[in-house]
Amino acid sequence: MKMRPVLSLVLSVALLSVTAGSAWAQACREDQVDIRGDFGSARFTVEIADDVEERAEGLMFRESLAASRGMLFIYESVGAPSFWMKNTLIPLDMVFIGPDGVVRHVHDRAEPGDLSGISGGPGVLAVLEIRGGMADAIGIEVGDEVRHPAFARDTAVWPCAAQ
């Protein structure tokens, strides 16, 4: 008798995986970032910071950030953007991403209020900020692949579907 609830849970998880699998085939959306790696796949709903003012404000003054939310900083060209935590009230993970959608660097749990520069090095086109500790909890690491319309279909390792 005790096996039935476990079997039911396993079947529910399997069904959820199949249902979620069809969602992965959907076209990319500006407000979503998908990441895949050895851990499997993860999706974040994001706000976009793609101009100087939005990037300067970032996630400052926020008192919380849901586990499935984040902010994607998109740059006009590849470079070595640097971040600090001035006026940021919550710890953040920063995922630095190249123009091909490959994770170049992960900075874990940036300290609120810290004025030290945080850089992912050269070759970065976008940076995903998520709640501190999430990258480690999920298993996001260098070499993982990111899908978002910001990464050109002809050069992205995991491109968005043609629209």
Residues 89-135 have pLDDT tens digits of 999 999 999 999 999 999 999 999 999 999 999 999 999 999 999 99
Confidence of residue 4 (pLDDT cuts 50, 70, 90): very low
- Domain ranges for the chain, please list them: 30-147
Largest CA distance in the chain: 61
Fold of 30-147: Jelly Rolls (2.60.120)
| The pLDDT of residue 26 | 59
pLDDT digits (tens, 9 = 90+) for 45-60: 999 999 999 999 999 9
24 backbone dihedrals φ, ψ, rounded to 5°:
-65, -25
The DSSP 8-state label assigned to residue 162 in this structure reads P
Q: Cβ contacts of residue 107 below 8 Å, gap of 6+?
A: 93, 94, 96, 118, 120
Determine contact, residues 146/107, Cβ cutoff 8 Å: no
| The pLDDT of residue 12 | 31
The DSSP 8-state label assigned to residue 45 in this structure reads E
